[in-house]
């Protein structure tokens, strides 16, 4: 177990290092004079000095990396030349919104996917299973930006439910019912995308698990169907489910960007797109770095949980 954890942590450090190098080199993709492009219309000798201090642009490229990473390790991602706000502050304000959307959507997705997969796996190829499977397969082909458009069309425009349309975001600090209303469509959209993945993974894994000898063994003990499904089949299969959830984070992020963009919800996705459109490169770089490291950490966390659920993995 300890060896396994050490190996994972080494891997994690390697990944974070590669992410940092990747994010660092992003600004060198910029066409033309980097300082001029980054500072935009606010270019001045003073700003130039700030930027050189932050990025070490006058030094050789490998030194630049150490200057840059040194600043980041001190929590300094720079100050945007466009909005004059520290990048860390902007990210700090936006991040909780993403976390809230993700949290709500995952609860929804699991709440729907798990019982449906259980039902389907009990009689594979039965009427219910076929219906669920065909439905989830179809939904697999509907990208989240279409889901949210359709939801807005019907829920906000046709039904006129308040706080669900574009530009009607209510902050959690004010009115939490309004906030839940404005989070409903984003959460549902992300839940739809996740649900499809979770249902399909859990269903096929449950079907395989239910063929296992230890299920027959559990049956022969005289346990109820319900108990067998939850205690004996779901737990081994939940490893596959957690694995899928870890991998799904990427899709979740993209979905988050899309809903925030459409509904003008000031989370990281919205901020990122706005930053791209205003050429606020330092902010883009900061968001890319934070989000990537966040995803890797979440994946690491999922790996860890999987280990606790399934004692077989770390032993091999």
Partner 1 sequence: MLELEEMALVERPEKKKPLGPLFWLCVGWIALNIFGAIFANVLPLQNPLYQNYSAINVGPSLHHIFGTDDIGRDIFSRIVYGSRVSIAVGFGSMVIGFGIGAPLGMLAAYRRGRFDTILTTFMYILLAFPAIIATIAVLSFWTPRSVFKIILVIGLASVPLVYRVIRTATLSVATKDYVIAAKVQGAKDRRILMKELLPNIAPIGISFLLIGIATVIALEGTLAFLGLSVTTPTPSWGNMINESRTVLQQNPWLAIFPSLALCLFLLSLNFIGDRLRSHFDVTEVKL
Partner 2 sequence: MTDVSEKLLIVEDLSTTFATAGGPLPAVANISFDLGRNETIGIVGESGSGKTVLSRTIMGLQPRTNVSVTGSVLLDGNEMVGASEDFKRRLWGTEVAMVFQDPMTSLNPVMRIGKQIDEALRVRLGMSKQDAKARAIELLELVGIPSPVQRYKAYPGQLSGGMRQRVVIAIALACSPKLLMADEPTTGLDVTIQAQILNLLDELKERLHMSVVLVTHDLGVVATRTSRIVVMYAGRIVEIGATRDVFANHRMPYTRALLESSPKVSNASHTRLITIPGRPPNLLKLTQGCSFAPRCSYATDKCHQERPELQAADQPGHSFACWNPLPTTRGDSAT
* Binding residues for partner 2 (CB under 8 A): 123, 212-214, 216-225, 227, 231-232, 235-236, 239, 309-312, 315
In whole angstroms, how far apart are CA 273 and each of 6, 11, 31, 153, 284? Answer: 37, 31, 19, 23, 8
Cβ atoms within 10 Å, residue 36: 11
Binding-site partner at residue 249 among partner 1, partner 2, none, CB < 5 to 8 Å by type: partner 1
State which residue, 53 or 227, has the beta carbon closest to partner 2: 227
Please give the backbone phi and psi of residue 86, each rounded to the nearest 5 degrees, phi first. -60, 140
With CB cut-offs between 5 and 8 Å by kind, which of partner 2, partner 1, none does residue 310 bind? partner 2
In angstroms, give the least distance from the CB of 71 to partner 1. 19
| Smallest gap from residue 91 Cβ to partner 2 (A) | 39
Beta carbons of 100 and 183 less than 8 angstroms apart: yes
Contacts with partner 1 in 51-70 (CB under 8 A)? none
Cβ neighbours for 65, distance < 8 A, ≥ 6 positions apart? 21, 24
Closest CB 157 distance from partner 1, rounded Å = 6
The residues near 99 (Cβ < 8 Å, ≥ 6 apart) are none
Contacts of 92 (CB under 8 A, 6+ apart): none
Residue 258 found at the interface with partner 1 (CB under 8 A):
yes
Minimum distance from residue 129 beta carbon to partner 2 (Å): 12
* Closer by beta carbon to partner 1, 170 or else 244: 244
Angle (CA) 180-185-186 rounded to 5° is 90
Helix and strand element counts for the chain (H, E): 14, 0
Whether 199 contacts 113, CB under 8 Å: yes
Summarize as ranges the residues that interact with partner 1 (CB under 8 A). 11, 14-15, 18-19, 22-23, 26-27, 29-31, 137-138, 140-146, 149-150, 152-153, 157, 166, 204, 211-213, 215-216, 243, 249-251, 253-254, 257-258, 261-262, 272-273, 276-277, 281, 284-285, 288, 291-292, 295-296, 299
């Amino acid at each position: 177990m300890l060896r396994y954890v050490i190996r994972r942590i080494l891997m994690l450090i390697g990944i974070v290092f590669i992410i940092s190098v990747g994010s660092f080199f992003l600004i060198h993709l910029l066409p033309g004079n980097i300082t001029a492009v980054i500072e935009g219309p606010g270019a001045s000798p003073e700003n130039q000095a700030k930027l050189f201090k932050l990025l070490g642009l006058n030094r050789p490229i490998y030194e630049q990396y150490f200057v840059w990473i040194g600043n980041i390790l001190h929590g300094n991602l720079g100050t945007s030349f466009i909005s004059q706000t520290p990048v860390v502050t902007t990210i700090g304000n936006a991040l909780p919104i993403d976390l809230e959307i993700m949290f709500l959507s995952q609860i929804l997705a699991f709440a729907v996917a798990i019982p449906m997969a259980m039902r389907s796996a009990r009689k594979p190829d039965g009427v219910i299973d076929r219906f669920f499977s065909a439905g989830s397969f179809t939904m697999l082909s509907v990208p989240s930006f279409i889901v949210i458009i359709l939801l807005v069309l019907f829920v906000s425009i046709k039904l006129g439910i308040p706080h669900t349309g574009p530009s009607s975001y209510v902050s959690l600090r004010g009115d939490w019912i309004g906030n839940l209303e404005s989070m409903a469509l984003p959460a549902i959209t992300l839940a739809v995308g996740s649900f499809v993945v979770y249902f399909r993974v859990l269903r096929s894994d449950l079907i395989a698990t239910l063929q296992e000898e230890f299920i027959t063994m559990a049956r022969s003990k005289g346990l109820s169907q319900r108990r067998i499904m939850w205690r004996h089949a779901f737990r081994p299969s939940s490893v596959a489910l957690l694995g899928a959830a870890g991998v799904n984070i990427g899709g979740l992020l993209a979905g988050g960007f899309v809903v925030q963009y459409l509904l003008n919800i000031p989370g990281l996705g919205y901020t990122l797109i706005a930053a791209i459109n205003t050429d606020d490169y330092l902010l883009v770089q900061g968001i890319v770095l934070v989000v990537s490291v966040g995803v890797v950490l979440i994946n690491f966390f999922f790996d860890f949980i999987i280990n606790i659920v399934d004692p077989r993995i770390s032993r091999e």
